[in-house]
Amino acid sequence: MSPKHDIITLDQIIRRLHAERFPDMREERFFEHFVAEQILKERDLTDDQHLAGNVGGPYDGGIDAIHLFVNGDRIDDTNVERYKNMKEGVKIDLHLIQAKDKNRMEVGVVNAFSALADDFFQINGDLYALKGQYNSGVLQAFAWFWDIYNELRITAAPDINIIFSYATKAGGPTKRMRGKAKQLVTKVERLISGCNCQFEFLGATELLDLSRAKPPQHFELIAAGQPLSADAAGGSYVALVRLDSYFGFITSDGGDLHWRLFEANVRDWQGDNKVNKQIQDSLRERDSNDFWWLNNGVTILVKSLVPSGYNLRLENPEIVNGLQTTRAIWQHFREQPPGTKDDRRLLTRIIVIGDGSEDRETIIRATNSQTAVPTYALRSLDRVHRNIEEYFLAKTERQLFYDRRKNYYKNQGKPAKSILDLRTLAQAVIAIGLGRPDDARGRPSDYLGASDDEKYRAVFDDDTHPAFYLFCARFYKLIEALLKHDRINKEFDPAQRRSVRFHILTHVISLHLLLAPSQLPKAINSIANLNIDDIDENMVIESINRVLLLFNNFRRKDESSRIKWSEFEDIFFEDLDSLLLQSKSP
């Protein structure tokens, strides 16, 4: 059993965080969120990503949260296709989490995990037979798993880790529970060839330890020779670092790429496949050329730096340039036997820079402009996003925080309901201002990449008044809140509601303005002048129920286990056109 004082302390921490960040969430639901956040702390997920992975409720199969990662990136609608074409160095992690706000553990939870494994790991990706037995969130997560696994298991031979986590406020499991957990692990490893399965029990003591664990602030970087000071004040250094030493620097204790080392806005970028292959080839070919002769190296910003011989002690390091190189080095060493030595060297630039300095953004933009970082990695540095952030802060009534820097306001303890990140705002704008809900749902990155500046400017334009973005943000938050309303048909589970939230945005704004979705781009100034209080709540709830009913009927008729979004979009627009025609009729 966990010591009583551990249980009391854990309860105090949970109550405080609940009141600060999710005051409107039910206690048991917040405990589920808290547990998942602690287990996945190193992943540095946003609140929205955590909520997307929360599948608890009717037909959840005994799971409260499911999160699928490929090479450290959480999989969702917007990136699942990207990972089907990878050829090597692939690591798949599937986390299945159950959290019970109780002071004891129950063998029934382990039995439920086992039953779920029988259903989902013996079917080879055919999920159709399970429709109606599990909610849409569970089915969607396993559909992504099987889609990626079936594509990659032959061409990429991925490393697969399946982790079951069971958490309560109790101390530990009985011998019988441990025995059943061991049987489950053996079964899963037999069903999914080559996978590594784990089962972890977490009580109050383990959860308390996880909640107290802080991300490391200081890192040691060991140079291959004496680092060179690049200025008289010792504010920056240039060093050649052995590749095996750099691999140790970028790898977490769990063997994953250390995501917190990457500047938050560039960490999600996968890079250009051709360039990645060139880097990988140069890593494999151990010829007379040193690696740093063939590669531009990396740039690291730090809050402070203390040199000691060949060692550099770095405070809060952020890798802001050289992301592809870093990923390639990590993947290369993962394919080698543990402890592999490699004395080739990497050129490393370390620059000391203070918090909030404008020089930071200048360096990030300048160093990456020499490469091809194409996503919203650099977009967040644009003036339009800084203007939106400041405009939101100036509006103190029902204040919203624009998280253009990932998790910046979350880490300040701001309420989750008051935070909106860059990608979610872009999705809201695509649905409200462009009338393209399926693009908002599944293809927001098409509008945020540097490869199509016209699309980007259609979403974020310096000439668009910030009031438009504030309305889109508040409208999205309104829909998010009303999706939980008692008047929403209980037949629709939370995952179903989330999956069509952008269609609902388009539906409501079109009916409010009596404009077809194709006409919305010309109405942006009118939308900017709208007051969120002018949106009729009854109409919104009617729209929510109507869109959910459309989606549910579509899924019932569809015999595929995968959602055919393009077909649903046709049905959605046809129904909306019919409603608009009725509304305009005398």
Boundary (domain end) residue, out of 179, 212, 245: 212
Task: Assess whether 207 and 224 both reside in one domain.
Answer: no
Decide: 556 and 508 in contact? Cβ < 8 Å.
Answer: no
* pLDDT score, position 334: 82
Boundary (domain end) residue, out of 323, 345, 373: 373
Task: Assess whether 156 and 100 both reside in one domain.
Answer: yes
Task: Assess whether 368 and 382 both reside in one domain.
Answer: no
Residue 258 has pLDDT above 50, yes or no: yes
* pLDDT score, position 138: 94
Task: Assess whether 342 and 478 both reside in one domain.
Answer: no
* DSSP H stretches of helix in 203-267: 204-212, 243-250
Largest CA distance in the chain: 83
Can you say whether the dihedral through the CA atoms of 484, 45, 15, 5 is positive or negative? positive
Can you say whether the dihedral through the CA atoms of 476, 481, 483, 489 is positive or negative? negative
Q: Give dist(CA 211, CA 16) in Å, integer.
A: 13
**CATH number, position 164:** 3.40.91
Task: Assess whether 180 and 282 both reside in one domain.
Answer: no
Phi, psi of 254 (to 5 degrees): -85, 0
Residue 269 has pLDDT above 60, yes or no: no
Residue 374 has pLDDT above 80, yes or no: no
Express each pLDDT in 356-371 by its tens digit: 555 666 666 655 544 4
Segment 265-278 shows an average pLDDT of 59
Task: Assess whether 282 and 401 both reside in one domain.
Answer: no
Task: Assess whether 198 and 238 both reside in one domain.
Answer: no
Name the pLDDT band for 353 (thresholds 50, 70, 90). Answer: confident
- Residue 338 DSSP code: T
Task: Assess whether 473 and 359 both reside in one domain.
Answer: no
Residue 490 has pLDDT above 80, yes or no: no
Residue 312 has pLDDT above 60, yes or no: yes
* pLDDT score, position 196: 95
Express each pLDDT in 173-211 by its tens digit: 999 999 999 999 999 999 998 899 999 999 999 999 999
Q: Supply the range of the domain harboring residue 476.
A: 378-584
387: burial class by Cβ within 10 Å (0-12, 13-18, 19+)? middle
Residue of higher predicted confidence among 98 and 172: 98
Task: Assess whether 393 and 303 both reside in one domain.
Answer: no
**168 closest CA partner among 209, 208, 204, 200:** 204
Express each pLDDT in 93-106 by its tens digit: 999 999 999 888 99
Pull the structure tokens for residue 586: 């005398």
Task: Assess whether 197 and 228 both reside in one domain.
Answer: no
Q: Give dist(CA 258, CA 516) in Å, integer.
A: 46
Name the pLDDT band for 398 (thresholds 50, 70, 90). Answer: confident
Pull the structure tokens for residue 298: 């990396």
Alpha carbon distances (Å) from 513 to 423, 449, 521, 528 = 25, 30, 12, 12
* pLDDT score, position 274: 65
Nearest 5°: CA angle at 414, between 411 and 418?
125
Contacts 24+ apart (CB under 8 A), 23-28: 23/415, 24/417, 27/101, 28/101
Boundary (domain end) residue, out of 353, 373, 393: 373
Q: Is 27 helix (H, G, I), strand (E, B) or coil?
A: helix
The count of domains in the chain is 3
- Quote the pTM value: 0.81
Decide: 478 and 510 in contact? Cβ < 8 Å.
Answer: no
What does the chain come to in residues?
Answer: 586
- Residue 310 DSSP code: T
* pLDDT score, position 373: 44
Contacts of residue 183, Cβ cutoff 8 Å, sequence gap at least 6: 114
Nearest 5°: CA angle at 336, between 331 and 337?
140
Other C-beta atoms within 10 Å of 24: how many? 11
Amino acid at 190: R
Q: Give dist(CA 205, CA 188) in Å, integer.
A: 28
* pLDDT score, position 217: 78
* DSSP H stretches of helix in 40-155: 47-53, 107-120, 136-155
424: burial class by Cβ within 10 Å (0-12, 13-18, 19+)? buried
Segment 5-14 shows an average pLDDT of 91
* pLDDT score, position 195: 93
Name the pLDDT band for 125 (thresholds 50, 70, 90). Answer: low
Mean pLDDT of the chain: 86
Task: Assess whether 515 and 390 both reside in one domain.
Answer: yes
* pLDDT score, position 378: 61
320: burial class by Cβ within 10 Å (0-12, 13-18, 19+)? buried
Can you say whether the dihedral through the CA atoms of 123, 125, 129, 131 is positive or negative? positive
Task: Assess whether 475 and 454 both reside in one domain.
Answer: yes
